[in-house]
Amino acid sequence: MSRLIFTFMTCFVMDNLLVSFLPIHPIVGYYRAIPNVFLICLSFFTFYDRGIRPYILAFIFGFLYDVCYTDLIGLYTCLFPIITFIMVRFVSQMMPINLLSVMAMVAVLVIGEESIVYFMVNTMKTTNMSTFVFIKYILIPTVFFNVLVTVVLYPILKRQFRAYQKNVLNEF
């Protein structure tokens, strides 16, 4: 279990580190990519554990995400458990675990998560960005960036979560 928490903490911190150290902003234009490494890790974890642990981790790290990275307390605290519920209930039971399906799942999750966050921020009038600008300059680059991150993280997370799954099965 400590290995699992370390994996989630690493992905949580990588969200901030990728913004700080990688040249996510291309030289041409005003494009922005928002890393969602923790969301990738959480959604991939739902394939390996369909119990209560993904919900607990989603709630705890959603609260930490709100405290550390956003100004809206409660947004990710509610959003991550809802995404986890959808993943556990519907998606992880129907999809095979392979790189292409995980890439497609991450693309859909990032589009959904970023759209909900944009809707909430736009509803509260804390941004003056139009929907077209959001889609063109933030959403599309974010999806492509997170799919590339998924390709890099897939073998690492798969190995970690399979080891976790074996340990859980050996406990019973």
Q: What is the DSSP string of 93-160?
A: HHS--SHHHHHHHHHHHHHHHHHHHHHHHHHTT-----HHHHIIIIIHHHHHHHHHHHHHHHHHHHHH
pLDDT in the model for residue 165? 87
Neighbours of 3 (CB within 10 A): 11
* Confidence check: pLDDT of 170 > 80: no
Residue 26 has pLDDT above 60, yes or no: no
Question: pLDDT for 27-43, tens place per residue?
Answer: 556 788 889 999 999 99
Residue 86: pLDDT band (50, 70, 90) is very high
58 phi and psi, to 5 degrees? -60, -45
Closest CA to 55 of 65, 47, 46: 46
Query: Which tokens go with 29?
Result: 């234009």
* Of residues 49 and 26, more confidently modeled: 49
Across the chain, mean pLDDT equals 89
Q: What mean pLDDT comes out for the span 1-7?
A: 88
The secondary element (H helix, E strand) that includes residue 58 is helix 53-69
Read off the tokens for 52: 């209560």
